[in-house]
Structure 1
Amino acid sequence: MNTETLDPRYQGVERWPTQCAVEAMLEGQMAAIAALQTQTTAIAAAADAAAARLESGGRLVFVGAGTSGRLAVQDGTELHPTFGWPGERTLFLMAGGADALTKAREGAEDDADAARAEVAAAGVGAQDVMIGVAASGRTPFTVAAIEAARAAGALTIGIANNAATPLVDAAEHVVVASTGSEIVAGSTRMKAGTAQKAALNLLSTTIMIRLGLVYDGRMVAMRVSNAKLLRRARAMVQDLTGVAPDAAAEALERGDNDIRRAVLIARGMTPEDAAALLDRHHGRLDAAIAAGN
């Protein structure tokens, strides 16, 4: 596995001047992002397929172990506040359970039986989309979960940092960021982890866009949960409708702090009609505005 090999350029890095070591690590981080340049077609295809599957009401299931699992959980956790993606439609299968998010449970990644049991217990099926992340592409827990989910009819997406590996073979859609050797040999929390984080961000954000949860480049489905986000929501309503600040604030209040509803209310609808119209169009503001016109 390329992610495990020692790069002779960095032997003795612990004796380098600190700034030189930092510069070398930064160069590695930049190379990690560049490794995704060849994967945009794969990411787009996976996002389109996932959005089409999720339209029918399925769940996004994130699977991983160690650093890869923590990155997957971080990405999935952010989808509800950012895009209003329902929490009940997000599932995490982390090797070692929730405790592994803050405590290393390295042995759990080898438990393929546990992965298969968790997939079965969760009732993963044809409406669901599973995203499995593993730097090595060989993690037994992640590979077994992807295999079990695909056998159950779920759409499966694998994110790895090594090609020609079991995860790449098991998943229907694959993103391979070939980040190569780490500056600290085998420490895939560095280059590999950076590429995984970027790949997850690109994939999940594109899925949310394709599902209509972004309008005119804005997070119109975000959850308004604090004063900062309330100010942002009011500004969105004002920008999207051209109403005065007070009218935007009032529309948002009448729409129960739902930005999409508030936009329709500011355009002249009642809160009830706005909610019903959005419901008929699966929450897509663009479709609701077109229908309202």
Structure 2
Amino acid sequence: MENSTEVVSFVLSAYGNIGNFKYLYFSILLLWYISVCVSNTILVVVIYMDRGLHEPMYLLLGNLFMNEICVSTSLYPLLLSQMLSDTHEVTLPWCFLQMCCFSIFGCVQLCNFTAMAYDRYVCICHPLQYNVFMSNEKVGKIVLLVWIYSFTSYMFSFSFILPLKFCGNVIDKVFCDQQLVIKLACSVSALTSISDLFFGFMCVVIPSSLISFTYIKIFWVCLNVSKESKQKAITTCTPQIVSLANIFVYATFLFVASRLDIHYFPNKLRVILSIYIHLLHPMITPFMYGLYLPKIRQSCKRFLFDRK
């Protein structure tokens, strides 16, 4: 067994040898990162500035857009620096920090979708009681609870990962994947495995179950309402359903990839699949909500083009 104290950094081996293309990839990713930050920031500012958007659904969307910026920031700076690196090494503290950010922000995203699903459930299924169950003050408390819940859930799990000693340092990805990092440990206790499952249960199983139950109730009610009400419900729910479907496809691949041997997949395909959610979703989200929801679309037009 190797001396575990010698492992002070990890090597992200999935970058391979990209040669002179690294400058092209760097430029493309930098522009993409700037676009993600600008588009999501515009929507956050629009929601903040337009008092007509100071409603529970749009405040929850504002939190979603902020979280997309956080998710992207947890990936792109390291990704960009590694593009120009010849060694593709990342120190343990930075690797652990990226793991924490991915996990916490991912949990925040699913929990925020849970809150948004509940908001749509109350609006569609109990419209006369909407102002009783949902208010801006209650949404503020829900957003705070989402962040506290996500942070504490992961910190409990991470407290069992932090003391691990490592006998290997090669991660076959372009970012620090927690499951692969744990596999590099010299030994993993039962408590570490249980804590990892605990986090998955708290931040994936529970939110997913609540979201599924909520949308089943919404669809059931939609079967018995007028065509106009049904169309309105579909309009407000479609972006959330598309976002959730995208996340669950990625989560399924991540689960399979981290627990089974998928080296028969081409390396480039595995790299693309492992990061596509971090590349595409933060950009798709603002356009999907900003262009699809009429109220936000109109506010963006006024904010960007009609200011005098």
Tell me which interval the TM-score lies in, with the shorter structure as reference length: under 0.3
TM-score by length of 1: 0.23
Structure showing greater relative contact order (alpha-carbon pairs closer than 8 Å, 6 or more residues apart): 2
Q: Normalized per residue, which structure has more strand? A: 1
Q: Normalized per residue, which structure has more helix? A: 2
